[in-house]
């Protein structure tokens, strides 16, 4: 290879020196440059990442679908569909040395190498898809049939979903870190999300400073009469029954956030990009989750450990966890009591038939 390149350069130089005609010199020089360009294109793609390009190409072209899913946490058909949509809508273009298929794994940080060029390009492309896949409307919030027909949740027939918050690691300049530290003194952004009962995001609000999540509502509520039933214990009054039913519905938020962080490790530690992109990243990954829900079954998206943990926790809140909610006003308290009363009456009728 190197001998051929040197020979081409030498031939071009000799021709330029020997020919008196400027036109002839330009023609020969152009030919040599084109030849060198064709030789350069024979090199393997390489974009200064210590060989990670080869790993990405191996992942895309060689591995079996099962291994591909294990590494990317995405079915191969789902990945191919995403690439097709990005191309069809002209949201992402081929790079000089990196294809669209290669740019997406780089964005997901699968290679443990974050290239800021392609991270930004893919982030903007997926951000454009967000309004199409994260919607807060009647269709998105319709309850699944197994809940609508379950008498245990009759009092929640008008519920649109469940709302909760989570901390996501943030990387902030030293002179601006103070408001971003949460109660555990960790730099984080506070993300609030609403999830429907099909395990899809319908509303996401990211970008609040970590210190904004600072009210220990759970402890305050228990001190003022909110009694959470212990595991495997029957509720002893209407308030405990209400909390039991509400907790089991709300559990879907905890599960979806847990699975989101498992699927996208980039959420576990903040990437070395500006804060604005870190905030947008949360929206984009929530969109990707919904995109995968459109193409994959829930069983494929939930790993066994997460399912087991969530099932064990269903029916009771984590006593060590803090929650940040607005104080109930009188109207909400009356509604709470009314629902609790209906649930308790229904529960007593059910127990009397046993």
| Residues 6+ away with beta carbon under 8 Å from 214 | 182, 183, 324
Q: Is the pLDDT of residue 167 over 50?
A: yes
Poorest-confidence range of 27-31, 133-137, 232-236, 321-325? Answer: 321-325
For 268, other C-beta atoms within 10 Å of its C-beta total 11
Q: Which of 86-90, 178-182, 184-188, 236-240 has maximum average pLDDT?
A: 86-90
Please give the residue that has the higher pLDDT: either 332 or 314. 332
Q: How confident is the model at residue 182 (pLDDT cuts 50, 70, 90)?
A: confident
Q: Where are the domains of the chain?
A: 2-40, 52-133, 145-224+246-328
* CA neighbor of 94 nearest in space, from 56, 72, 122: 122
Poorest-confidence range of 101-115, 123-137, 165-179, 315-329? Answer: 315-329
Report residue 331: phi and psi, to 5°. -65, -45
| Predicted local confidence at residue 293, as pLDDT | 92
Please give the residue that has the higher pLDDT: either 96 or 104. 104
Per-residue pLDDT averaged across 323-337, rounded? 50
Q: Is the pLDDT of residue 89 over 50?
A: yes
Report residue 196: phi and psi, to 5°. -80, 180
Per-residue pLDDT averaged across 2-15, rounded? 55
Please give the residue that has the higher pLDDT: either 215 or 251. 251
Per-residue pLDDT averaged across 143-157, rounded? 72
Per-residue pLDDT averaged across 12-34, rounded? 53
Average pLDDT, the chain: 71
Please give the residue that has the higher pLDDT: either 220 or 287. 287
> pLDDT of 254-277, one tens digit each?
778 888 888 887 888 888 889 999
CA distance 35 to 204: 53
State the virtual CA torsion across 38, 44, 49, 55 in degrees, nearest 10.
160
CA distance 195 to 161: 5
Cα–Cα–Cα angle for 78, 83, 86, rounded to 5 degrees: 125
| Residues 6+ away with beta carbon under 8 Å from 252 | 162, 195, 197, 199
Burial of 171 (C-beta count, 10 Å sphere; 0-12/13-18/19+): middle
Burial of 112 (C-beta count, 10 Å sphere; 0-12/13-18/19+): exposed
Q: Is the dihedral of CA 56, 62, 63, 65 positive or negative?
A: positive
CA distance 166 to 141: 21
| Predicted local confidence at residue 206, as pLDDT | 85
Per-residue pLDDT averaged across 294-302, rounded? 83
Q: How confident is the model at residue 286 (pLDDT cuts 50, 70, 90)?
A: very high
Poorest-confidence range of 18-22, 116-120, 313-317? Answer: 313-317
């Amino acid at each position: 290879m190197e001998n051929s390149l040197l020979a081409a350069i030498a031939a071009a130089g000799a021709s330029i020196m020997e020919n008196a005609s400027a036109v002839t010199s330009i023609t020969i020089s152009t030919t040599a440059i084109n030849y060198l360009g064709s030789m350069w294109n024979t090199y393997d793609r390489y974009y200064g990442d210590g060989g990670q390009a080869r790993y990405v190409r191996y992942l895309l072209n060689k591995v079996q679908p099962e291994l591909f899913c294990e590494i990317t946490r995405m079915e191969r058909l789902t990945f191919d569909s995403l690439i097709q949509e990005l191309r069809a809508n002209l949201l992402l273009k081929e790079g000089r040395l990196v294809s669209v298929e290669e740019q997406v794994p780089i964005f997901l940080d699968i290679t443990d190498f974050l290239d800021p060029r392609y991270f930004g390009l893919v982030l903007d492309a997926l951000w454009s898809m967000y309004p199409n896949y994260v919607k807060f409307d009647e269709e998105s919030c319709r309850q699944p049939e197994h809940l609508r027909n379950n008498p245990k949740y009759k009092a929640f027939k008008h519920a649109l979903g469940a709302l909760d918050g989570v901390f996501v690691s943030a990387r902030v300049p030293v002179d601006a870190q103070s408001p971003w530290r949460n109660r555990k003194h960790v730099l984080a952004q506070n993300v609030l999300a609403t999830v429907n009962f099909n395990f899809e995001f319908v509303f996401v609000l990211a970008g609040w400073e970590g210190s904004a999540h600072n009210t220990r509502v759970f402890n305050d509520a228990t001190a003022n009469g909110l009694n959470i039933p212990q595991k495997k214990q029957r509720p002893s009054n209407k308030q405990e029954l209400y909390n039991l039913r509400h907790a089991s519905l709300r559990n879907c938020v905890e599960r979806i956030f847990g699975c989101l962080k498992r699927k996208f490790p980039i959420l576990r530690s903040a990437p070395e990009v500006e804060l604005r992109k870190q905030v947008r990243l949360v929206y984009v990954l929530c969109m990707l989750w919904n995109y995968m829900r459109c193409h994959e079954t829930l069983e494929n998206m939930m790993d066994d450990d997460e399912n087991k943990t969530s099932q064990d926790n269903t029916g009771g809140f984590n006593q060590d966890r803090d929650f940040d909610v607005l104080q109930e006003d009188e109207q909400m308290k009356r509604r709470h009591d009314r629902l609790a009363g209906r649930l308790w009456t229904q529960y007593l009728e059910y127990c009397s038939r046993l």
